[in-house]
Amino acid sequence: MKIGIAPINWSNDDMPELGENITLEQCLSEMQTTGYDGTELGHKFPKTAEKLHPLLETYDLSLAAMWHSTYFVENSDLEKELDQLQQRIEFLIEMGAKVINLAECSRT
């Protein structure tokens, strides 16, 4: 079994001022030191596999998952919503991750 952790414990994606002083390198280093195998994607992470994969390898980590908010209920452009989801899925596949934390966030 492998265990991953979310970087929101170091830097909050919803309120970026919480943890803004913590670098991505500090976050990844502490994940590695603590013994985690993987991480969820956070807002400080590179957004391309070409940049993210070598960075995570430096800390012996892999991308375990990512969060994606959907707005199917309130978004009239279903095609755009599905395109965004497909892009996230393709990125996860490229990174070797098998989990997407998906939540319908309309009217929240």
Q: pLDDT (tens digit, 9 = 90+) per residue, 2-59?
A: 999 999 999 999 898 999 999 999 999 999 999 999 999 999 999 999 999 999 999 9
Domain boundaries, the chain: 4-104
Tell me what pLDDT residue 7 has: 97
The amino acid sitting at 36 is Y
pLDDT tens per residue across span 51-107: 999 999 999 999 999 999 999 998 788 999 999 999 999 999 999 999 999 999 998
Instruction: Tell which CATH classification among 3.40.50.450, 3.20.20.150, 3.40.50.140, 3.40.50.720 matches the domain 4-104.
Output: 3.20.20.150
Tell me what pLDDT residue 84 has: 95
Dist CA 63 CA 53 (whole Å): 8
Q: Whose CA is closest to 6, among 65, 91, 59?
A: 65
Q: Which two tokens stand for residue 21?
A: 């002083």
Tell me what pLDDT residue 92 has: 97
